[in-house]
Every structure is written in C-alpha cells, then in structure tokens.
C-alpha cells in the first residue's frame, strides 16, 4: 500500500469515529432532555404554573375597620351644635384606662370650676405636652412630671368623688379632647396659669387664649 493510500485510509477511519462520537453525544443529550421533561411534567401541574400578566395589576386593600364607639362619637360630634351638647351625649360609663384616668384627673383637679371650654383647654395642654418632645410622651408622664401640677402630691393624685357630676364632665371632656372631637381655643398651648398669678416664664411665651380664670401659652 502506498503512503498516499495509507493516509487516505487513516483519514476515513478518523472521520468515521468522529461521526460516531457526535451521534452518541446527541443521543445522550436528547435522552437527558427527555428525562428532564418527564420529571418536570411529574412535578408541575396546571395549578402551579405561574401566569404572567402584561397589564398592571392592582390589588384591593382590605377595608379599615373603625371601632363602633369611635363611629358613635364622631356622629355625635357632627350633630352637636355646642360643646355643652357634645358633653351631654358623650358616654362616660365604664372604667377608664390608666392614661385616660390621668387625663380626666388633671382636667378635674385643674379646671372643674371652669366652663367647659376651659376644661377642654386644660385637656388640650396635657395632650399637646404628650405629643411634644419637650415633655414625657404619655398623659400620665405629663401629669406626674415633677413640679408641674400642684394637685399631685407625693407622686399621687388625690381621691376623686367618682359619683359627682364634675367627674362625669371631666371624663367626657377627656374623651372629647383625646379623640379631637371639638376644637379648643388653646390650640397648640403647652402652658397655662391662673390669671391671679404672674409667673416669670409667661413673659417668654406666646399667649394663645384667656378662658375665664386661665391664660394659655405656647
């Protein structure tokens, strides 16, 4: 056999081997793909296949529920033509939370002899202080802060005659102030004092309102 013939035979054999290998690899790939398809078909059904939507989808938010008592108070505030009328229809039955007890107590001891607008203004000051960074962040913290309210003695509030009309009014005013059901002339006031005294700090504050015997400041 000549060198030329021998070289041609070697080339032919090499080509045959390459074709065979390519066929084997193709068969393996197809088999593996078929197995994957079969496994995928076993694990996925019509219910779990995600459906992609091209358009924007807006999910409705669940409705916000308002407590029944708040709805009643809001309705009463809308129908009331005066603060006196609103106090008359505001429920005062049931126990108060500690925070509301502190708010109502401060209103009672600081202003039970004042007109309703004056009592509401005192309640507004307590709430404004609790919302201000200058004072404690709770009603009780504000009321029991040292050297702020003279009725607090030894860190305690005096006993309250709970069957008295004045206490029921104070509870109603506290609820009205807490839920902001009626605007107060005190607005954003943080301080108040009786008109018969003239504390030095009052010169550095801005007067917001004078209601009967109290002057309110920011």
Q: What is the per-residue pLDDT across 107-119, written as a single tens digit (0 to 9) for each?
A: 999 999 999 999 9
pLDDT-derived band at 73 (thresholds 50, 70, 90) equals low
Shared-domain flag, residues 104 and 173: yes
Measured CA to CA, the distance from residue 34 to residue 200 in angstroms comes to: 91
pLDDT at 198: 93
Tell me the mean pLDDT in the region 134-155.
96
Strand partners, 210: 215
Measured CA to CA, the distance from residue 56 to residue 53 in angstroms comes to: 8
Shared-domain flag, residues 100 and 31: no
Measured CA to CA, the distance from residue 73 to residue 89 in angstroms comes to: 9
pLDDT at 18: 52
Dihedral over Cα of 141, 142, 146, 150: its sign: negative
Tell me the mean pLDDT in the region 160-169.
97
Q: For the whole model, what pTM was predicted? A: 0.67
Shared-domain flag, residues 73 and 7: no
pLDDT at 35 over 80: no
Shared-domain flag, residues 82 and 181: yes
Shared-domain flag, residues 73 and 38: no
Tally of residues, the chain: 218
Do the bridges between strand 207-211 and strand 214-217 make them parallel or antiparallel, or are there none, so unpaired? Answer: antiparallel
pLDDT at 78: 72
């Amino acid at each position: 056999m000549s060198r030329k013939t021998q070289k041609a035979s070697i080339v032919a054999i090499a080509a045959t081997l390459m074709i065979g290998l390519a066929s084997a690899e193709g068969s393996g790939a197809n088999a593996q793909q078929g197995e994957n398809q079969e496994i995928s078909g076993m694990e996925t059904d019509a219910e779990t296949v995600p459906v992609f939507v091209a358009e924007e989808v807006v999910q409705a938010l669940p409705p916000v529920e308002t407590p029944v008592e708040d709805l009643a108070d809001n309705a009463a505030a809308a129908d009331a033509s005066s603060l006196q009328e609103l106090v008359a229809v505001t429920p005062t039955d049931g126990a108060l939370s500690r925070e509301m007890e502190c708010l109502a107590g401060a209103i009672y001891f600081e202003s039970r002899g004042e007109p309703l607008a004056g009592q509401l203004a005192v309640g507004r000051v307590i709430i404004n202080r609790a919302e201000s960074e200058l004072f404690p962040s709770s009603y009780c913290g504000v009321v029991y802060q040292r050297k702020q309210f003279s009725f607090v003695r030894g860190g305690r509030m005096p006993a309250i005659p709970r069957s008295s009309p004045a206490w029921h009014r104070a509870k109603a005013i506290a609820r009205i102030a807490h839920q902001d059901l009626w605007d107060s002339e005190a607005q954003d006031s943080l301080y108040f004092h009786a008109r018969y005294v003239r504390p030095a700090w009052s010169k550095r504050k801005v007067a917001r309102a004078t209601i009967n015997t109290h002057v309110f400041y920011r």
